[in-house]
Amino acid sequence: MTKIGFIGAGKIAHALMKGLLSSGAVTPSRIYASSNTEESLQKVKILGVNTCLDNLWTVKNSNITILAVKPLVFPKVLHEIAPAIGPDNVIVSLAAGVTIDSIQQRLPHHAKVVRAMLNTAVQIRDGAISYSTGKNVEDPDQELVHRLFSSVGLTLEAEEKHLVAVMGLSGSGPAYFYLILEALSDAGVRHGLSRDVSTRHASQAMLGAARMVLESGRHPGELKDEVCSPGGVTIDAIYSMEKAGVRAAMMDAVDACIKRNYELSRLNE
């Protein structure tokens, strides 16, 4: 059975560990996690995984090592783990804006590098994941990584140049939808619903709509048209949303996210 290492035990590492463990794809004894402080390891220790303050220990113990540290500490961590990377180790980076090439340059020439973008919903196995593979990654390595990620969400292979769009869309996406849910919930409260009932109805409507799109494969515009009866109530709501520029606001939000990602990437170079 595959052994998974985590370097970094912060928010995304914790979310991914939780998802992998609840899927049964891996048992706690097969997860090895290291971080730079005992404090940050405490949260993952509760999951029953093996922990250590030594990143080399993580690489030596795992077949797949997931790098879940901030881009700023990436060069330091890569320099530290490079000597322990053998030809069978697969290194998966979760860092936004750090390219496969820049990782590869800091590791031995045989290093197998995968770059992935995922979101926090992996913890409930409803994540959205895209990944790209480096030159040394072979089919069995890719199948392993793909299977692992598939256990925690929708997993699609992508060209590396598209990972930034994935980050702007589904990586940060949960925050956009929480904001919309909060606004809809406020609307329900304004019209007399309790906060709880309002939030649950709004959330279920969002979940149902998303599942309709994913399961039918139909264009969202077509599904929207089906809800809008001629002269009915929904088309008036849609008109109001269009007047407020909701569509452009969502596209602008993704643009802003991508722009900021490029700024941060330049700072980390």
Ligand X SMILES: NC(=O)c1ccc[n+]([C@@H]2O[C@H](COP(=O)([O-])OP(=O)(O)OC[C@H]3O[C@@H](n4cnc5c(N)ncnc54)[C@H](OP(=O)(O)O)[C@@H]3O)[C@@H](O)[C@H]2O)c1
Query: Residue numbers of the site for ligand X (CB under 6 A)?
Result: 7-13, 34-37, 39-40, 55, 68-71, 73, 76-77, 94-96, 118-120, 171
Largest Cα–Cα separation, the chain: 69
CB closer to ligand X out of 198 and 261: 261
Nearer to ligand X, 39 or 88 (CB): 39
Cβ-defined contacts of 38-41 (< 8 Å, 24+): 40/9, 40/10, 41/9
Closer to ligand X at the Cβ: 55 or 99?
Answer: 55
- Beta carbon nearer to ligand X, 76 or 224: 76
CB under 8 Å to 129, separation ≥6 — which residues? 116, 117, 118, 119, 122, 149, 152, 153, 154, 155, 156
Q: Closest separation between CB of residue 7 and ligand X, Å?
A: 5
Minimum distance of ligand X from residue 33's CB (angstroms) = 9
Of residues 131, 142, 95, 134, the one with CA closest to residue 111: 134
Nearest CB to ligand X, comparing residues 120 and 198 = 120
Smallest gap, in angstroms, from Cβ of residue 142 to ligand X?
20
Comparing every residue's Cβ against ligand X, the nearest one is 10
H or E stretch covering 59: helix 55-61
Shortest distance, CB of residue 67 to ligand X, whole angstroms? Answer: 8
**DSSP classification of residue 159:** -
- Residue 121, burial from CB neighbour count under 10 angstroms (0-12, 13-18, 19+): buried
Report, in Å, the least distance between residue 69 CB and ligand X: 4
